[in-house]
Amino acid sequence: MRNKAFIVLALCALLVVPAKAQELLNYPLDTINGEEVYRYQVERGIGLYRVGVNFDVPQSEILRLNPQLRERGLHFGEVILLPTKRPVIMQSKAKVLETVVTETVVVPETPSTSEDHFTTETLSVASLATDSLAADSLVPDTRRVVELAILLPFESRQTKRSTNAERMMEFYQGALLAIHDLQNDSILYRLRVYDSERSERRVAALCDSTDLDSVKAILGLVYPIQIERMATWCRQHQVPLLLPFSDDLELENYPYVLQFNSTDEQEADSLCAWIKKRHAHCVAVEVRDEDLSASVRTLRKQMRVRGIPCTAMGLHDLMMDSVAYALDPERENVILLHSDRYQLVRLAIPHIVKLQEEGYRIRLISHFSWTKEDLGVPVVYTSLFSSNASLEAYDAQWRTYFSEEHVSEAPRYDLLGYDLMQALVAWLNGEQTHTGLQSSIRWQQVGQGGYQNACVEVVTY
C-alpha cells in the first residue's frame, strides 16, 4: 500500500521491540514505574517455581516486582506482577506521554510531487512520537488554532495488533481526511491522537495531566471502564466528548457527552413504527438463547406497548414446517427470531425460505451483522449507516493520501471516523445535525444531560 504505513510506523515508534521479544500472553497488561508487566491471578496448586517456568522468568525477577512474596509465598487467587521481557520505557514527563501521538494536518498549498502527500516528520520527545502531516511553515499566522483530540485503543505497544486495532487505525485515517477537508483560511485544526489502550490508568493519567487543557473537543474511547473518568473530566472542563461506539453511559449525568450509538429503545421505536405503517403481522420465534440480547427483549416489549399483533411459536414448529397457523396469508409476515447470534438461527433460514416459496409474504427482522450472510429472504433492520452519499470524491482522496485500496466491510470504519470528526466540528459551530458520507446524525438531549444520536433508519432489502 502506498503511504498507509506512515501512521503505523509512527505508532510503532512508541516502543521498539527486539526481534527476540517474547510473544504477548493473554493476561492484562499494566505499566508500573515505567515498566510493562502482566497482572497474573495465581491459579490453584501453583507455586513460585512453576510460575517462573511457565513465564520463563527468573524467580528473582518475580520477587523484585512482588517483594511481599519473600515473607509468605504465593496465595491462590491473588494478583501478582510479572515482567513481559519487553524494554522499560523511561518517562521524563507526564505519565501519559509514552502513549501519545500528535498529528497536525494542514491543507497543502500545492500538490506534492513525491509519493508522500502528507509530509511526515518524526521527533523524539521522551518516547513521544510526533508526526506533522504538513510543515508548520505553511500555516498563516493569522489563523485561529483549534485543537481536537482522538483517544482510541491502537495497541501501539503490542507486538501484534488485533483486528479491532486495525479498525481503529482505519477510523483514525478517516478522521485525518476529515481534518484535512475542514481546514480553511481562518481556522487551523490540529489533531492530538492518544493510544488509550484498555487501561483505566492511562485515561486517568491523561485527565490528571495538563495535556488536554487546550483541547476544544474529544473524539473516541471504547471501553466503559475508561469513559466515565473522561466524561467527568469533560464535564468539569466543559469540553464535548463524542463516543463513537459505547452506549453504556448514563447521559443524564454528563451534559458534555455526545453518544453516536443508538439505544435499544430508539431502534425498537423505529422498527415498530415501520411495522405499524405496513400493517405487517409479526411472528416471534422462540430460540433457546441463554444470552438473549436486550435488543430483542426491548423490541418485544415495544410491540406490546404499541399494540402490534404478534403470534409466538417455538423454533421446533418452524423446523418441522408446521407453522401455517401462525402466518397471515393476506398480509406481510415479519418473523422475529429470538436471538441476535446468527449461528443459532442459521438452520431455520431454509425453512423460512420454503415458506416464502409456498406463497407467503415473509420478511425477516435481521441484525446488522447478518447483512454479510446470504439469507435468501427479504429482511428489515435498523441502522445508523444508511446514507446514500456518493463516495467517489472521498475514495479518490483516500487513494491519493493512503493507498489503492481501503476496507470494504460495512460499516466502513474510515467513513465512521470521517463522519464523526466532521460532526464534532459541526457541533462546535452550533450545528446539531450533520449529514455524513455513511451516517446522518441528529443530536437529541437526554433530560438536562448529554446528547444521543436520534437518527436511526429502517433499512429493507
Cα–Cα distances in Å, from 181 out to 42, 99, 107?
Answer: 52, 27, 8
What per-residue confidence (pLDDT) applies to 428? 97
User: Percent of the chain scored above 70 by pLDDT?
Assistant: 80
Q: In the β-sheet with 362-365, what is the strand arrangement from edge to edge? A: 310-314, 281-286, 333-337, 362-365, 379-383, 457-460
Mean pLDDT for 288-311 is 87
Flag the least confident range among 208-222, 311-325, 342-356. Answer: 311-325
The crossing angle, in degrees rounded to 10, of helices 294-305 and 264-278 is 50
| pLDDT mean across residues, the chain | 79
What per-residue confidence (pLDDT) applies to 40? 87
pLDDT top residue among 132 and 417:
417
Chain centroid to CA 79: how far? Answer: 29
Q: What is the pLDDT of residues 424-457, one digit of tens each?
A: 999 999 999 999 999 999 999 999 999 999 999 9
Mean pLDDT for 312-340 is 89
Q: Where exactly does CATH 3.40.50.2300 map onto the chain?
A: 1-17+94-261+388-455, 264-383
Most confident of 188-197, 279-288, 417-426: 417-426
| The C-alpha cell that represents 39 in the structure block | 497482572
What per-residue confidence (pLDDT) applies to 212? 93
The per-residue b/e assignment along 368-384, b for 16 or more CB within 10 angstroms, e otherwise, is bebeeeebebebbbbbb
Assign 141 a pLDDT band (cuts: 50, 70, 90): low
Strands 100-104 and 187-195: antiparallel
* Vertex 390: Cα angle to 437 and 385 (nearest 5): 35
What per-residue confidence (pLDDT) applies to 261? 93
Closest of 160, 218, 210, 276 to residue 424, by C-alpha: 218
Look at residue 27 and tell me whether its pLDDT is greater than 80.
Answer: no
Cα–Cα distances in Å, from 115 out to 6, 46, 403?
Answer: 12, 56, 10
Look at residue 166 and tell me whether its pLDDT is greater than 80.
Answer: yes
> Which of the four CATH numbers 3.10.350.10, 3.40.50.280, 3.40.50.300, 1.10.260.40 does domain 29-83 have?
3.10.350.10
What per-residue confidence (pLDDT) applies to 251? 94
pLDDT top residue among 411 and 134:
411
Helices (H) and strands (E) in the chain, counts: 14, 20
1-17+94-261+388-455, what's its fold? Rossmann fold (3.40.50)
Amino acid at the residue 458? V
Amino acid at the residue 9? L
Cβ-contact 112, 106 below 8 angstroms: no
Assign 25 a pLDDT band (cuts: 50, 70, 90): low
Superfamily covering domain 264-383: Response regulator (3.40.50.2300)
Mean pLDDT for 198-215 is 90
State pTM to two decimals: 0.70
